Structure 1
Amino acid sequence: MNISKPRLSFWQILNMNVGFLGIQYSFGLQQTAINPIFLFLDAKEEMLPLLNIAGPVTGLIVQPIIGAMSDKTWSNRWGRRKPYFLIGALLGSICLFMFPYSPYLWFAVGLLWILDVGNNMAMEPYRAFVGDKLPEKQLSLGYQMQSLFVGAGILLANGSIVLFQYLFGNDTVEQTGSIPQWLYYSFFIGAFLSLVTILWSVLKTPEIPPTEEEMNEINQIKRFSFIKRLKLPFVEIFEAVKTMPKFMWKIGGVYLFQWYALFIYWQFTTPLFMKTMGYNISEAGSQAAKMSLTYNTVTMLVALALVPLTLRFGGKKIYSLSLIGTALALFIIPYITDPYLVLLPMVLFGIGWAAMMGIPYTMVSKIVPQERRGVYMGILNMMIVIPMFIQTLTFGPIYKYLLNENAINAMLFAGAFFGIAAILAIRLKEKN
C-alpha cells in the first residue's frame, strides 16, 4: 500500500544517512585492511577468496531475513528499521575493536564472520529506511546520498590506514605471524564510528508509523506461536521471490558479473602491487589503500552530481556507462608501475562505484510495494552476495590453474566481467 510521504529537506536526508558513514567505514577496512591482515598471519594468496566467504554467506542469510523481519516490526519508541541497525552497529563495533588483537589466522577469520553479521544486520534495513521515508521524487537523492556516505566512510577508513602507516609504520619492523601496531588505530576509529553515527541517525530521524492495516497485521503476528513467528521471515522471502518483478531478475544478471569482479579487485589489489611494483605486504597494502582513497574521494564528489544526470538521461544509461568506465580502469591498472600514475584510473572506478551504490537501489525502490520494501531490499542484497559466494568458491582454483597465480591476470579477468555487466545493464527497462 502506497502512502503519501512529506518532502524532506536536504539536511533531513543527510541526517538520516549519517549512520551509513560508520557502516561503510567498517566495509572500507574489510576491503583494504582485512586481506593484508590475513597475509600478515601467513595466509596464502590462493586462500584469500575462501577466507572472505564470510561476507557472502552472512549476507545471503542475514540480509533477507532481517529485511523480512523489519517489515513486520514496530516499536513506538524505536520504530521499524532502527532496532536492527542499532544491534548490528553494536556487534560490528565490538568486533572492530577486537580485530587487531587477532593472535592467529583462524581467530581473525572467525571475527570476520561476526563482523559481517553485524554489518549486514545494520546495512540492509538502512536501504529500506530510505525508501520508507522518502517520496518517489526524492528517492534518487536519498540513495545517492547513501552513495556519498559510502565514499566518505571508505575514504576515512583508507585515509586513516595511509596516515597511520606514514606516522608510525617506519618505526615498526614487520614480523611474520603478527599484525603491525600502526594498523590498530584505524580499527579503533571504526569501532567508535560504527556506533556513534548510527545513534546520530536514530536520534535525528523519526520513522513513519505503519498504516492501520499494517499495524493490524503486526499485532496479529505477535499472537503467533514462537515456531510460526520463526518460520514467517522464510515464508515472506519465498513469497516475495515468487512474485518478484522481472526487472529484479534482470538486475540480478548485471550483479552476477559486477560483484564477482568487485570481489576479485578487493582481494587481489595487494598481491597485484607486490608483483607489479615489487612491494612487501605493508607497502602493497598501503598502495591499495591509496587506490581506495582516490576512488572513494571521486565517489563523494560525483555521487550527488549523478542525480540530475539520471533524471535527464535515465538510470540505466548512466549505470551502464559507469560500468564500462570501471572495466577500462581495471584493464589499465596492471600496466602502470608508477605509484602516482596508477591512481588516475581510479577516477573512472570512483564514478562507477558511485553509480553502483545508488542507481540500482533507486530503480528497484520505485517498483516494489511499500509493505515488502524490506524483504525486497534484502533480496536485492542477496543478488550481491550470491556472486561473491560463487567467487569465493570458484576463483581460488581459477587463479591457481587458469590464471597461473598471476594477480595481473586476475585484474584483467575482473575487467572483462565488468564489461559483460555493462552490456547487461543497458538492457534493463526502468520505470519512468
Structure 2
Amino acid sequence: MDTKPRLSFWQIFNMNVGFLGIQFSFGLQQTAINPIFSFLGAHPEDLPLLNLAGPVTGLIIQPIIGAISDKTWSPRFGRRKPFFLIGALLGSLCLFAFPYSPTLWFAVGLLWILDVGNNMAMEPYRAFVGDKLPNNQLSFGYQMQSLFVGAGIVLANASIFIFQDWFSTPNTIDDSLNTIPTWLYYSFFLGAILSIATIAWSVLKTPEIPPSTEELEEINHHKSLPLFDRIKKPFQEITKAIKDMPKFMWKLASVYLFQWYALFIYWQFISPMFQESLGFDKSEALSQAAKMNTTYNISTILFALALVPLALKWGGKKVYIISLFLTAFAILSIPFIKDPILVLVTMILFGIGWAAMMGIPYSMVSKIVPQKRRGVYMGILNMMIVIPMGIQTITFGPIVKNILNNSAVNAILLGGVFFVIAGLLALRLKEPVAEN
C-alpha cells in the first residue's frame, strides 16, 4: 500500500524549482553550443561527433549515480540531494568558463565536464521526485517537472536573442571572425547563477523521506562492505536491474531510439537549416533558433499541467502517442515555411509534444519500478535516451555528408520521419499498472 503523504501544490512546486537551473543549462546546449562550435571553426558535418559528450556521460554517469544514491543516506544531507548539489556546482563553473573558450577543442572539453555535472544532478533529481510522491500524484509531479523544463529552456533561449538585441554591435556579428560574440557571454553567466541557486532552493525547501528500517539495514550493510565490493556494487545493480527490467521499458526503448535520435538532429541542425533555407548568417540563424526554442518551451509551460487531466482520462499512452505525431508534423513543416514569424507557429505543436515527452514516460515508469531501485531504473531510462544520442553523434555526420548532400534541410526532414516511426512504435506500449 502507498503510505506516502499527499503533497500540496506549492510543496511539489518547490521540489521541482531546481529543474529551472538544470534546464537553463540544457537550453544553452540545445541552442548556443553548436553555434559556438561553428564560431570556433567547426563544419556542419562535424557537429554530431562534437556532441558525443552528452550521450557518453549520460550513459556512464546517470545509472552509476542512480545506483549509488539508492544505497546512500545521511541524516544531515539526505539521499539524493548531495549528488544534484555537487552536479549543479560543477555545471555552474563550466557555464562561467564556456564563453571564454579560445579554441574549438577547449570548448568541446568544457562540454564534457558540463555534461558530467548536469548528469550528476539530473538522475538523482528525477528519483527524488518519485521518492517523495504517492502514485496518484506522480503524473502531476513529473508534469510540474516538465513545466520547469520548459521554463528553464525558455529563459535560456530568450536571453540569447534579448542580449543580442541589447549588446550586439556590427563588429560582434561578423561571421568572418572565428570568435564567440560577447553578447552571448551574458546568457552563460545567467545560467551559471541559476544552476546553483535553483537547486539550493529545492534542497532547502524539500526534506527527503528517511529510508525504512529495511532500506536502512541494506544501506548500512552496503557501507560495511570492503571498498572494492562497494565500487563494483553499482555495476552489479545496473546489470541486475536491466535483467529484471519490465517489458514496458524494453518497448519504450524502441520508441526512444527514434525519438531521441530525431531530437538530437533537430538541436544540431535547426540553426544551420535557417542559414540554408532563409539565407541567414550565423548570428541571425542562432537568434532565429533561439526564438524557435523559446516558443516551443513557452508552449510546454502552458500545456505541461494541462496534460495531467488528459493523461488521467485517456491514459498516458494515448497522450504520449499523440505528442509524438504532433512533433513529427511540426518538424516536417519547418523547412517549407519561409516566413520567420510563421515558422514559430509550428513550435506550439512541438511544445505540446515536448511537455508530454519530458513528463509522461517518467510517470509511467516510476509507477512500475520498485521504490528501493528507483534511482537505478531512472538511470537506465536515461540510458535509453543517451544511447540513441550516441548512435546519432557517431553515425549522422557521414549520413549528412554522403547521403543527405550536406543539407541541413534534409537532416531536419529525416528527423520528422523518425518521429513518425517513434509514434508508430509507441502504439505497441501497454499502459503499466502501478506496483504497490
The bucket for the TM-score relative to the shorter chain is over 0.9
| Partner in structure 1 of residue 413 of structure 2 | 412
User: How many Å separate the matches in 2 of 1:429 and 1:142?
Assistant: 22
| Partner in structure 2 of residue 253 of structure 1 | 254
> Map of 1:318-337 to 2, 5 A cutoff?
318-337=319-338
| Partner in structure 1 of residue 91 of structure 2 | 92
Q: Aligned residues: percent identity?
A: 72
| Partner in structure 2 of residue 354 of structure 1 | 355
| Partner in structure 2 of residue 54 of structure 1 | 53
- SS of the residue corresponding to residue 168 of structure 2 reads helix
| Partner in structure 1 of residue 231 of structure 2 | 230
| Partner in structure 1 of residue 381 of structure 2 | 380
| Partner in structure 1 of residue 169 of structure 2 | 170
Q: CA deviation at 1:171?
A: 4.7
| Partner in structure 1 of residue 155 of structure 2 | 156
Contact 1:68 1:375 survives alignment (8 Å): yes
| Partner in structure 2 of residue 119 of structure 1 | 118
User: How many Å separate the matches in 2 of 1:62 and 1:18?
Assistant: 22
**Could you report, residue by residue, the CA deviation over 1:221-259 in whole angstroms, capped at 9, with x for unpaired residues?**
111111111101000000000100000000001000000
Q: CA deviation at 1:3?
A: 5.2
Contact 2:248 2:432 survives alignment (8 Å): no
TM-score normalised by structure 2 residue count = 0.98
| Partner in structure 2 of residue 369 of structure 1 | 370
User: How many Å separate the matches in 2 of 1:114 and 1:5?
Assistant: 36
User: How many Å separate the matches in 2 of 1:6 and 1:431?
Assistant: 23
Q: Are 1:132 and 2:150 an aligned pair?
A: no
Contact 2:24 2:191 survives alignment (8 Å): yes
**Could you report, residue by residue, the CA deviation over 1:341-390 in whole angstroms, capped at 9, with x for unpaired residues?**
11011011000000000000010000000000000000000000000000
**Could you report, residue by residue, the CA deviation over 1:74-133 in whole angstroms, capped at 9, with x for unpaired residues?**
010110000000000000000000000000000000000000000000000111011100
- Aligned-residue Cα RMSD (Å) equals 0.8
User: How many Å separate the matches in 2 of 1:3 and 1:72?
Assistant: 21
Q: CA deviation at 1:172?
A: 3.4
User: How many Å separate the matches in 2 of 1:157 and 1:172?
Assistant: 23
| Deviant stretches of 4+, over 6 Å | none
Q: CA deviation at 1:201?
A: 0.3
User: How many Å separate the matches in 1 of 2:76 and 2:364?
Assistant: 31
Structure 1 gap segments, 5+ residues each: none
> Map of 1:272-287 to 2, 5 A cutoff?
272-287=273-288
Q: CA deviation at 1:425?
A: 1.1
Amino acid in the other structure paired with 2:373: R
| Partner in structure 2 of residue 13 of structure 1 | 12
**Could you report, residue by residue, the CA deviation over 1:261-305 in whole angstroms, capped at 9, with x for unpaired residues?**
000000000110000111111100000000000000000000000
Q: CA deviation at 1:4?
A: 1.2
User: How many Å separate the matches in 1 of 2:383 and 2:409?
Assistant: 29
| Partner in structure 1 of residue 146 of structure 2 | 147
| Partner in structure 2 of residue 395 of structure 1 | 396
Contact 1:42 1:176 survives alignment (8 Å): no
User: How many Å separate the matches in 1 of 2:201 and 2:409?
Assistant: 42
Amino acid in the other structure paired with 1:229: R
User: How many Å separate the matches in 1 of 2:429 and 2:407?
Assistant: 34
Q: CA deviation at 1:170?
A: 3.2
Contact 2:2 2:135 survives alignment (8 Å): no
Contact 1:104 1:177 survives alignment (8 Å): no
User: How many Å separate the matches in 2 of 1:338 and 1:11?
Assistant: 41
- SS of the residue corresponding to residue 179 of structure 2 reads coil
Amino acid in the other structure paired with 1:420: I
- SS of the residue corresponding to residue 76 of structure 2 reads coil
Q: Are 1:44 and 2:64 an aligned pair?
A: no
Q: CA deviation at 1:168?
A: 1.3
| Partner in structure 1 of residue 265 of structure 2 | 264
User: How many Å separate the matches in 1 of 2:392 and 2:383?
Assistant: 14
> Map of 1:177-188 to 2, 5 A cutoff?
177-188=178-189
User: How many Å separate the matches in 1 of 2:134 and 2:431?
Assistant: 18
**Could you report, residue by residue, the CA deviation over 1:310-342 in whole angstroms, capped at 9, with x for unpaired residues?**
000011111001100100111110011111011
User: How many Å separate the matches in 2 of 1:407 and 1:171?
Assistant: 27
**Could you report, residue by residue, the CA deviation over 1:6-27 in whole angstroms, capped at 9, with x for unpaired residues?**
0000000000000010000000
- SS of the residue corresponding to residue 428 of structure 2 reads coil
| Partner in structure 1 of residue 193 of structure 2 | 192
Q: Are 1:312 and 2:313 an aligned pair?
A: yes
> Map of 1:66-85 to 2, 5 A cutoff?
66-85=65-84
Structure 2 gap segments, 5+ residues each: none
- SS of the residue corresponding to residue 61 of structure 2 reads helix
